[in-house]
């Protein structure tokens, strides 16, 4: 399904959450938890100042793939999701059919909201959107192997571990760490 034929499914609601597009007005809340060491040590982009953070997240490509997770009960922003739709690999004769068929996911929760089932609720809803209204064929996500909460979440959701790579990511600690990548296909996802 081409981007031109997709309707915009956002915002979406789950039992406890609303997931909506990020706006520039949301960046202060994101900075509030993304600047914490216990959060940014697992992220790829680690801006060290608010100005650098805003510069990164105000880029149109970044803003378009960032979604706010807030509680329905009080509107509190508790985290964010990345849903980045992209192309699948294809032989040259099939490139057009492989455009916009996959999504890469990422997620971050403010530490005070972890361990309450919010992450699994939000990521499950994002995958539902990917395989429902967006009509994608595959979703993937990755993490450092040392980030056990992330890979456990992917396994709880039924995502398949597709790769365990040895010392492929340079962590902010200066240590080369192992990485893990997970995926799930539309036909494997329970509806």
In the DSSP assignment, the letter for residue 58 is T
Q: Are 143 and 180 in contact (CB under 8 A)?
A: yes
Quick one: DSSP state of residue 186? G
Cross-strand bridge partners of residue 106:
82
Q: 0.85 cut: is pTM over it?
A: yes
Q: What is the dihedral of CA 157, 144, 24, 32, to 10 degrees?
A: 100
- Contact, 143 vs 153, CB < 8 A? no
Sign of the CA dihedral running 122, 161, 83, 65: positive
What percent of the chain is modeled with pLDDT above 70? 97
Section 32-41 average pLDDT: 94
Q: What is the pLDDT of residue 47?
A: 85
Cα 137 from chain centre: 16
């Amino acid at each position: 399904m081409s981007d031109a034929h997709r309707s915009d499914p956002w915002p979406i609601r789950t039992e406890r959450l609303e997931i909506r597009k990020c706006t520039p007005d949301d960046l202060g809340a994101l900075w509030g938890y993304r600047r914490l060491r216990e959060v940014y040590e697992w992220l790829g982009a680690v801006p060290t100042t608010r100005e650098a953070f805003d510069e990164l997240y105000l880029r149109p490509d970044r803003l378009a793939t960032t979604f706010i997770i807030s509680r329905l009960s009080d509107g509190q922003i508790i985290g964010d999701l990345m849903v980045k739709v992209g192309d699948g690999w294809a032989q040259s004769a099939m490139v057009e059919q492989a455009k916009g068929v996959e999504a890469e996911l990422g997620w971050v929760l403010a530490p005070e909201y972890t361990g309450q089932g919010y992450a699994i609720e939000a990521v499950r809803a994002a995958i539902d959107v990917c395989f429902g209204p967006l009509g994608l064929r595959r979703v993937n996500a990755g993490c450092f192997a040392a980030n056990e909460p992330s890979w456990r979440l992917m396994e709880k959701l039924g995502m398949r571990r597709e790769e365990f790579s040895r010392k492929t990511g340079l962590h902010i600690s200066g240590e080369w760490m192992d990485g893990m990548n997970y995926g799930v296909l539309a036909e494997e996802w329970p509806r």
